[in-house]
């Protein structure tokens, strides 16, 4: 009887958790996002940093051609990361017999989008003015803030990832010339590590 009572309580808790949070994030989504970021970072390096000296904070204007290339790289990386993320998350959601689009999903995306949109617009403005070095740290910081802001509507591990991204971004401010390296660590390797942990922890 006692075991049945405990089992019922666990089931009730699981139902409440599913109704208040989006819990179908796939670890493979994090891994694929990390790989996409590393690919994008490589092409960005070839476009901006290759055979150029940007090892200090300085104002440097991009040519129209290189700016266009950076934007195309960013868009391509974003599409690849989102596309693979949606695929793996949708697959995970179907396995758990959950809805992919509900109130919690909307809340998650809105809370994530506000800091991301703000940071994205700011970074584009800085990039257009030639402040290349500060863009990478700011993307890490705003992305981290977005994860922290959205974490209350999904898995708790997202908050930890967000905090790490913010810390990494703040450290990157102190080493402006190495922003792309920190960007690769934050969006690339941290995502891959996070994805592996999530895949092992919530494997179903």
Show the 3-state SS of 56-85: CCCCCCCCHHHHHHHHHHHHHHHHHHHHHH
Indicate whether 128 pLDDT > 60: yes
Give the pLDDT confidence score for residue 101 in this predicted structure: 65
Instruction: List CB contacts of 86: < 8 A, sequence separation 6 or more.
Output: none
The 8 Å CB, 24+ separation contacts for 80-84 are: 80/36, 80/39, 80/40, 81/32, 81/33, 81/36, 81/37, 84/28, 84/29, 84/32, 84/33, 84/36
User: Tell me, what's the pLDDT at 42?
Assistant: 85
Question: Per residue in 64-99, pLDDT tens?
Answer: 777 777 778 878 887 887 787 777 777 777 776 666
**Model confidence pLDDT, tens digit, residues 142-183:** 999 998 988 888 777 888 989 999 999 999 999 887 888 898
List the Cα angle 99/76/42 in 5-degree steps: 120
For the chain, which residues make up each domain, given as ranges? 2-201
Q: How many CA atoms lie within 13 A of 78 on its CB side?
A: 10
pLDDT score, position 183: 87
Average pLDDT over residues 104-125: 87
Q: Tell me the C-alpha distance between 174 and 193, whole Å.
A: 24
pLDDT of residue 104: 75
């Amino acid at each position: 009887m006692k075991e049945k009572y405990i089992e019922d309580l666990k089931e009730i808790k699981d139902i409440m958790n599913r109704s208040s949070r989006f819990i179908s994030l796939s670890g493979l989504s994090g891994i694929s996002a990390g790989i996409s970021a590393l690919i994008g970072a490589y092409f960005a390096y070839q476009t901006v940093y290759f055979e150029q000296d940007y090892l200090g904070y300085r104002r440097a204007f991009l040519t129209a051609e290189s700016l266009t290339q950076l934007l195309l790289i960013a868009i391509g990386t974003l599409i690849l990361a989102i596309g693979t993320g949606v695929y793996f998350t949708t697959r995970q959601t179907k396995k758990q017999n959950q809805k992919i689009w509900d109130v919690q999903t909307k809340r998650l995306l809105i809370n994530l989008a506000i800091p991301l949109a703000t940071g994205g617009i700011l970074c584009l403005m800085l990039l257009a003015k030639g402040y290349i070095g500060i863009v990478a740290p700011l993307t890490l910081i705003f992305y981290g803030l977005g994860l922290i802001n959205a974490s209350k509507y999904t898995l708790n591990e997202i908050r930890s990832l967000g905090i790490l991204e913010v810390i990494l971004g703040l450290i990157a401010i102190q080493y402006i010339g190495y922003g792309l390296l920190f960007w690769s660590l934050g969006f690339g390797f941290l995502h891959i590590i996070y994805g592996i942990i999530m895949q092992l922890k919530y494997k179903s």
